[in-house]
Amino acid sequence: MQMCASLLREQFPNIAFSHVYSSAARDAEDQDDFLNAVAKLETNLAPEEVHSILSSIENTLQKEVPYPKGPRTIDLDILLYGDEEIDTETLLVPHPRMIERRFVLEPLSELSNLYIDHLKKTLDQSCIKTEIQL
């Protein structure tokens, strides 16, 4: 994760990171825990450009996914992009399942207690639903 953070800092100087959280694999019990973190960044780039940079970083770090929903060496997603809603072949923002995932909400809550307009709830409310203590 340190190499990933360094590569992200090179591309996005105005970036902040949450702590790293460990969580059990959701869909298979015979996997090691996953490590999760969230980054908040400022950029003038278009969402597709940011997505391309994230994909490039994944390639640099040799992302491997041996089977669907299996362990992976790295996985970078755009969860939110300001208030924008994006639905293209390669990019769906906000991330469609983030509001159900404690391993996303908990680190996200460290960086911002934002109002997610298109989901009609605050991050605090989402965390309460998933039993996250803020």
- Segments of the chain scoring below 70 in pLDDT: 27-29, 113-134
Domain residue limits, the chain: 2-129
> What pLDDT shows up at residue 95?
81
Check residue 115 and give its pLDDT.
Answer: 47
| φ and ψ of 81, to 5 deg | -140, 80
Segments in 33-122 forming alpha helices (H)? 47-60, 102-111
Please give the pLDDT value at position 127: 54
* Res 27: pLDDT: 67
The total of other beta-carbon atoms located within 10 Å of residue 23's CB is 14
Identify the sign of the CA torsion 102, 103, 108, 111: positive
What is this structure's pTM?
0.79
For domain 2-129, give the CATH number: 3.30.70.560
